[in-house]
Structure 1
């Protein structure tokens, strides 16, 4: 599964408060399937340490929602965040970590960060990724925080045995797998599996299927 998480920063609030010389506390929210928060906490700790060292007077607090501390499932989390974003007063969160599948849902409530971040900062990111999954109606409403990539592992020994190449399409994968399975069955080898997607039991199972069919 190709998954992206985004960090959306309400830069306008930072600029306003900084101009008034105030100490700033920003609230961030994220969702994780497990209890491990290192992905987020280590990132925010580095920022908070940098802020303290350079007298930025900015601190970020993280609200990490997970099955361990909440009964909220990923679907409810998505709806909850949208409800929070719709509020125009008493802003609860300034930074959102979310899956790019929600970009069409959250896009209307997010800032076009091209109006606030220097071009040289945005140019540090891959333009193809920004254009394909970080934009809502041609506005850059997010930056990639984490990238996940899928890989296909092949049994090279069996491919060489039957003079087959590594499949490059799903049709080739099906055809090659069936051929090798049939040939191995003739040798009483019935323990082989043609393809194992290693799909998880969480919502990401649906995401895996979605990306397979793109």
Structure 2
């Protein structure tokens, strides 16, 4: 099984994940344009030749690492969204899961990883195309959930706007967490953002979720 196949299956070895972690750090320390596969291999504790057995270029490695992190960190969010049939509970679960994942990333000193890949995508067309595919996939996931729940909305013409509103909220939460905003405050922000969705719903927030609040870790 090729490394990319393993990534698609949601499974890579600890050695591969260490390589992905180290490639991001090398990109940050040496600069994306200046670093080489040999630099990345050395940082990961293996030879450049070993890295080249699986990746023909740093562009391919960067795209693989980005895809791995996307699958690893989005899996929980997608599972949470799928578990809830109503749109309010689904978006609440997605926001809470995202905050938890982002806070864990920051605490593990991985808070800059996602932003690094986005920055690289602005200067490398190969990585940019890979990033766009992942971004489109997540956008479609959220849009599809709103479409599934369109009967809950006062006007189904609001579907696209609401889906992109929550995509924007998620991006904003990430930025605030990255800059050190307390996670407890971010949960409160998430709850406030759900008020916008409630205004567009026929019956508002589900009774069973009234007063729902994420427990502090």
- Tell which structure's C-alpha radius of gyration is larger: 1
What TM-score, normalized by structure 1, do the two folds share? 0.24
Structure 1 or 2: more helix by fraction: 2
Structure 1 or 2: more strand by fraction: 1
What TM-score, normalized by structure 2, do the two folds share? 0.24
Bigger relative CO (Cα 8 Å, ≥ 6 apart): 1
